[in-house]
A and B are shown apart, each in its own frame.
Chain A
C-alpha cells in the first residue's frame, strides 16, 4: 500500500514535469517517410475487426486497417472519414451519408454504399456490442447510388447521437469478403481487410501483428510510416523495460504499472500523458445491490458515500493530473453533455455518515460494528484494487465491516451482473461520447439478466426511465442536453449508483514520435499522419 502511494506521488511529479517541458517545434519539422511504429499490445483479442467488436483492444489494431464513416477531429467534433457529408430528414427517421469516392479496399475492390449497407445491417445491428443498442430501430439502409447510403429508422434518431457513436461504432467491413459466410468465423476477422492507411500482413498469436503501408490510401501520399508492429507483451514490467530498450514506442491505455509510468515520465526520452485519451473517459463506480434491504435504504447509501474521502484518495493513491472527484455519470470531458449547474453531491462528512446510519436504525453493535457488507471489485486496473481497499478502511471507521471478494474478469461479470451475488461492487463505467451509448443502460430498467454493465442492481426508477427514453429520441440537441441534466440530477439525488472518481487513461510515448496524441481517440485512430523522427 505504502509503496503504491509513493509510486502514485512520483507519477504526479513526473506528469507535472512533462507538462512543463518545452514543446517541440513540430510545425517547423518536415515529416520523415519510412520507419516502423512498434506498439505495446497488452491483451490479445479474439478478433481484430472493429465492425464486430467495439473495444479499445480491437481499435488499437483494427483502427489502422479499417476506417469508420465518421471520425473525430482535434476538438472532438465529428469529421469526415469514409463519409464526406451527412444530413438528417426533419423527422429524424432518415439519415443520409454521402460516401467518399475513389476509395478501394486493400484487395483492390472499390468501396461502395453496398459495403455500408451490409456492415450496418449484418454487423452493427446484429453483432457489434453497443451497436445493437444504438441501431436497435434501424430498419434498412437504402443505396440509391454507389456513393449514397440512407439509414432509415423506425423511431427518430438524433443526428448528433449517431455522429458521436460512429467514430467507435461505425467501422465499415467489405461486403464481398463477408457476404454469404458465417460472419463470426470469417478468416478476415483475424486478418482484416479495410480501406485504412495500413494493410494487414501477419498475426502470430502470442507474439506480434504486422501491418504495412497502403500505397493506394485515399489520403494522398500518406501514411508516412512503412509499417506498424504490435508486440504482445503481457507482463507490465517487461513492457516498461521494452519501452526503455526502444523495442516499443507507444504503450496505450494505462497498460503499464503506475510506478513504471512515473519512472518513464521523469525520463526525457518519454512522455507520459492523458492527451489523446479524452474520448475514453471513465468513472470509478460504487454499485449497490438494492436486493439487500440495508442498501435499498437511501440513508445507508448516502452514509456510505459520505464516509469515503475521495479527494484524499485521489491525492494519495492516484494523481490529480489524470483523476479528479467525479460529479456524476457524465464526465467533465463530455463538453456536449456535461450538465451545467450544481448536481446532488456527497462530500466527505464522517459525522453526517454516522448520523445517517444511526437514523436508519443501525447502531453500533459488538466491536463497534453496525453491519457487514461484501464488496466485489473488478479485476482490471490498479486503481480499482486500491479503491476497494480504501472503501474497506473508510467504512470500517463508521462501523461498517467490508469483506472484499476478489474475482477474475469472467467471475466478476458472472457474479455481479448475472448471479447478483454481491452487496457492493466497484469498477469502471466507460463513457462513450454520448450518454445514450453506454451510460444510461446502468440506470434503465429492463436490461435482461446477465448483460454486464447494465442495471442489474435491483432498482426500477420510473422517473429516470422516462427521462432516458425521452432523451434517446429527442432530436433537438439543447433539449437532449437538458434531459441528460435531469438524468444526472435524478440519478445522483436518489444515489442509484455513485460515480465518485473521474479518470483518463495514461499513454506512454517515445518522444521520437511526431503527430501523436493529436485527437481525443488517438490510440484508436488510424495514425495516417504519424511519423518518427530519426
Chain B
C-alpha cells in the first residue's frame, strides 16, 4: 500500500501499460515467436513425431534441393502467383474503373461482385469441382456440348487442372479488390480530372498519366495482398483434387499442400519444416519488396 502511494504518476502509468500488456505479450511469445523459432530449429533436425529429434544439419535443405517434386511444386506455386495476380488485378481494375462511373443500381451491382468474397473456399471449391465434371454433370462441358465443341477435361488433365483450380480463387478474391480499387479511385481529387479536361486531354491519356500513377499505392497493396494469397493457396487445391491431392501427377500441388503432406501424411517433420522456411522466405521477400516500392510515396 505504501509502495503504491510512493509511486509517481509516471511510474503508475508505466505499471498500467505493462499490466495491460502482460497477457498479450505472453500470447505472442508462446504462440507466435516460440513456434517460429521451433520451426526453424526443426528444419535442421529429423523427426517422425514419435522418436527423438535428431540433429540433421543442412540435410533437409540439401534433400529439398535435389527433390524433383519440390521443384515441380515450387514452379506450380509461382504459376499460381504469376497467372492469378495479373489476371485478378486487371479484371478488378476494369470493373472498378467502370463501376465508378455507374450510378443506376450502383450498390446492387457492387454487391453482386462482392458476394463471392463472403463465401467459404471449401464450399466453393466443391461447387466449381461440380462445374468442371464431364457431361452430363458439369455445366461448362454441357455448354460446350450444346455448341458442338469437344469436351474439355478440366481436373484430370495435367495441363488444364492448374488453371481450373486457380479460377475459383481468382473469382472469390475479385470483389475485395474491386472495393479497394474503387476507394483508391475516389481518393483522387476531382480537380486533376477537371484540369485535364480543360486542357483537352484524351481519356486514355488521363488514364495512363493521372489515374494509374495516382493509384500506385493501391495497386501495390492489391498486388502484394493477392500475391501472398496465391503463394499460400491450399483450400481450393485440396478440395478440388481430394481423390489425389495436388494431382494429377502433382500438376496442381502448391507448396502448402506439399508441407501438409510431408508433415501429416509422411510424418517427416524436419523435412516439412524446411519447406515452411522456404515458404516464409518467399513471403518475406514479397513483403519487403512492397516496403521498398512504397518507400518514396
Do the two chains belong together in a single complex? no
Give the A-binding residues of B (Cβ under 8 A): none
